[in-house]
Amino acid sequence: MDLIVARNREDLVAARRPGTVALVPTMGALHEGHRSLIRQARERADQVVVSIFVNPLQFGPNEDFSRYPRTFDDDLDVCRAEGVDVVFHPGVDDMYPPGRQVSVSAGQMGDVVEGEFRPGHFDGVLTVVLKLFNLVRPDLAVFGEKDAQQLALIRRMVADLDVPVEILGAPTVREPDGLAMSSRNRYLSAEERKVALGLSRALRAGAGRRTPDEIRTAAREELDRNPELKVEYLVLVDPRTFTEVKEPYEGVAVLAVAARVGGTRLIDNVTVTLT
């Protein structure tokens, strides 16, 4: 069956067919990381829907909404190659009709870590994700673990609001040298890309330690070797709440970092288990 491109709600309804539906929400500029999400969805569902929508609600006034990469024709080629059934590509007015007033609040977890540096970001993320759930009506949805706080908040929203969608996380896909794949990597010059590798090196250094303090210290020391990295945060957090873990701590934690390399902001994380 040929790939269907649905550009509005009516197209989306017409494209739906019986069986299990999986949704892969994206903002386009698809790369190998997105392909891994699609493949996981393909394994679980009869119909795979990929949404491509650059969501204005999740960008702050000084962020990169206007220059965020938009590569729709290339994205369609990726979707065809991966056996996607439907691409949902609405316009802003289709997603947010005039007069819209109600949004989803991310609550306390939306104000910490990434949310501290991007106020309102997660409100915008959860609002668009909930709208996509209501429009597509998927049985399951796949998100990347690279956006760990986003994934945690979507799971929280689904639980708190009784949304009947199974949420799956897919492991971070990395370049051979360790750089986490991101649509924003294309902004990096060759020299900036070398600098950006300091993020994954710092996470590996921290992950090799045994206590929260040792993990944070080792990761920070590695970051300090790269003064070109303008670090916004380095945290070791409980994956359920994104609050900092303290000594003593046992269980799974997320070591997360955000930094600017030139004009590009990058995030990355790894999961560690402390016993």
Sketch the domain layout of the chain as residue ranges. Answer: 4-170, 185-270
Closest C-alpha to 147, from 264, 268, 27, 58: 268
Fold that domain 4-170 belongs to in CATH: Rossmann fold (3.40.50)
Q: What is the greatest pairwise CA distance in the chain?
A: 55
Contacts of 260 (CB under 8 A, 6+ apart): 229, 230, 232, 266
What percentage of the chain reaches a pLDDT higher than 90?
A: 95
**Is 108 annotated for ligand binding?**
no
Name the amino acid, one letter, at 6: A
**How many other CB atoms are found less than 10 A from the CB of residue 186?**
11
Task: Tell me the per-residue pLDDT of 41-79, one tens digit each, with 9 for 90 and over.
Answer: 999 999 999 999 999 999 998 898 998 999 999 999 999
Q: Are the C-beta atoms of residues 180 and 74 closer than 8 Å to each other? A: no
Q: Is the pLDDT of residue 99 over 70?
A: yes
Of 169, 196, 231, 201, which Cα lies nearest the Cα of 37? 169
Residue 1 confidence class, pLDDT cut points 50, 70, 90: low
Mean per-residue pLDDT of the chain: 96
Contact 147, 267 (CB under 8 A): yes
**Of 275 and 10, which is predicted with more confidence?**
10
Predicted confidence (pLDDT) at residue 258 exceeds the cutoff of 90: yes
Region 160-168: mean pLDDT is 98
First-to-last CA distance in the chain?
A: 50
Q: Is 182 annotated as a binding residue?
A: yes
Q: How far is residue 194's CA from residue 239's CA, in Å, rounded to a whole number? A: 29
Lowest mean pLDDT among 98-102, 127-131, 213-217: 98-102
Contact in structure between 52 and 26 (CB atoms under 8 Å): yes
CA distance 57 to 54: 9
Does residue 34 carry a catalytic annotation? yes
Q: Is 189 annotated as a binding residue?
A: no
CATH topology of domain 185-270: Pantoate--beta-alanine Ligase; Chain: A,domain 2 (3.30.1300)
Q: What is the pLDDT of residues 194-250, one digit of tens each?
A: 999 999 999 999 999 989 999 999 999 999 999 999 999 999 999 999 999 998 899
Residues 6+ apart with CB under 8 A from 86: 3, 4, 5, 6, 12, 15, 16, 47, 48, 49, 50
Question: For residue 275, what pLDDT band results from cuts at 50, 70 and 90?
Answer: confident
Q: Does the CA dihedral 1-31-76-104 come out positive or negative?
A: positive
- The span from the CA of 127 to the CA of 100, in Å, is 11
In order of 27, 82, 114, 187, 265, the CA distances from 120 in angstroms are 18, 33, 10, 24, 17
Catalytic residue among 4, 34, 47, 53: 34
The annotation status of 28 as a binding-site residue, yes or no, is: yes
Contact 57, 20 (CB under 8 A): no
Assign 51 to helix, strand or coil. strand
- Euclidean distance between CA atoms 127 and 189, whole angstroms: 33
pLDDT at 142 over 80: yes
Check whether 36 has a pLDDT greater than 70: yes
Residue 173 labelled as part of a binding site: yes
Whether 29 has a binding-site annotation, put simply, is: yes
pTM given for the model: 0.96
Residue linked to tokens 């090799």 = 208
- The identity of residue 181, as a single letter, is M
Q: What is the per-residue pLDDT for 25?
A: 98
pLDDT at position 12 is: 96
